[in-house]
Structure 1
Amino acid sequence: MKTAIFRKEHFNAAHRLFNPNWSDEKNDEIFGKCNNPNYHGHNYELIVKLTGDIDPVTGYVYDTKLLSDLIKQHILNRYDHKNLNLDCEEFKNLNPTAENIAQQIYITLRALIEPSIDLKVILYETERNFVEYPA
């Protein structure tokens, strides 16, 4: 039987939602306050879910210390206290919406976790707004 483990982390980051192909008016209409040219920030809550078989030798689905280290090294160090638009190469041409941030976190972690383990990323942008990738 498959079992799921979860790791919850936190990071703070600024961003601006903006489409350079649109007028200022259209960006304001679609993104509202999130289009602030001076950026705005969030206190993101990240939940990483791994699902797999329990290893009969270790009793683990996945070593949570290793998962914690991977998240800190490859996600938190990359995004925490950063301006996502300016400091993160993946968002130079990709709007840093919660959906796109979750997808980028997934892509990064997927490359580091063996394929036999299912991976899901849940990212809270606010207490009321969160995304799940893949759905």
Structure 2
Amino acid sequence: MTDRHRASSTRRFTFSAGHRYWVESWSREENERFFGRLTVPHGHNYTLDVTVHGPIDPQTGMVVDLGELKRVVGETVVDRFDHADLNADALFRGRVPTTENLAIAVWDLLAPKLGADRLWQVRVWEDPTLFVDYRGPDA
């Protein structure tokens, strides 16, 4: 095998977090009209898929050390957000904690640790019918 063999490897994580949708500069009526029931605090059991892309190491046969990926995502994302109020997290100051913004926050936390050139995609599932894929600001 040579460096020309590249692949993507995805690891799945879960965490539970609460939030509500609310734009501070809007009136209560505007928030309720736009977001409806989502203005009330509620929670989700999120699923997070983190995909790393790169050359397959000729010795290990792997794109990434899966144990290290599990450790980094666990310490950086899961420990931070599990059973947390996303609205209270500094990453959501000034922005609504939507699934889209959660995906961006996860990327921003992981890219410096995994390498923006290796982090390929984060997929955040809010429930079995809704997910967001994010591939970084330059995608």
Alignment-derived partner of residue 105 in structure 1? 106
Kindly state the Cα deviation for residue 23 of structure 1 after the two structures are TM-superposed: 1.1
Contact conserved, 1:106 with 1:119, CA < 8 A, in 2? no
| DSSP-derived class of the 1:75 partner | helix
**Residues matched between the structures, number:** 132
Kindly state the Cα deviation for residue 59 of structure 1 after the two structures are TM-superposed: 1.5
Alignment-derived partner of residue 120 in structure 1? 121
Alignment-derived partner of residue 31 in structure 1? 35
Matches within 5 A, 1:1-135: 1-36=5-40, 39-86=41-88, 88-134=89-135
* Poorly superposed stretches of 4+, deviation over 4 Å: none
What letter corresponds to residue 61 of structure 1 in structure 2?
V
Kindly state the Cα deviation for residue 9 of structure 1 after the two structures are TM-superposed: 0.5
| DSSP-derived class of the 1:112 partner | helix
TM-score, structure 1 normalization: 0.93
What letter corresponds to residue 115 of structure 2 in structure 1?
E
What letter corresponds to residue 82 of structure 2 in structure 1?
D
Write the distance in 2 (CA, Å) between the matches of 1:64 and 1:29.
44
Contact conserved, 1:110 with 1:119, CA < 8 A, in 2? no
Q: Percent of counterpart pairs with the same letter?
A: 34
Kindly state the Cα deviation for residue 60 of structure 1 after the two structures are TM-superposed: 1.4
Aligned CA RMSD, in angstroms, stands at 1.2
Query: 1:72-117, CA deviations, whole angstroms, 9 ceiling, x for partnerless residues?
Result: 100011000001112x111122210000000010111101013442
Write the distance in 1 (CA, Å) between the matches of 2:104 and 2:115.
18
Relative to structure 1, the CA distance from residue 79 to residue 118 in structure 2 (aligned partners, 3 Å threshold; closer, same or farther) is closer
Write the distance in 2 (CA, Å) between the matches of 1:90 and 1:13.
14
Query: 1:10-31, CA deviations, whole angstroms, 9 ceiling, x for partnerless residues?
Result: 0000001100111111101111
Write the distance in 1 (CA, Å) between the matches of 2:20 and 2:71.
29
Kindly state the Cα deviation for residue 57 of structure 1 after the two structures are TM-superposed: 2.1
Write the distance in 2 (CA, Å) between the matches of 1:83 and 1:116.
30
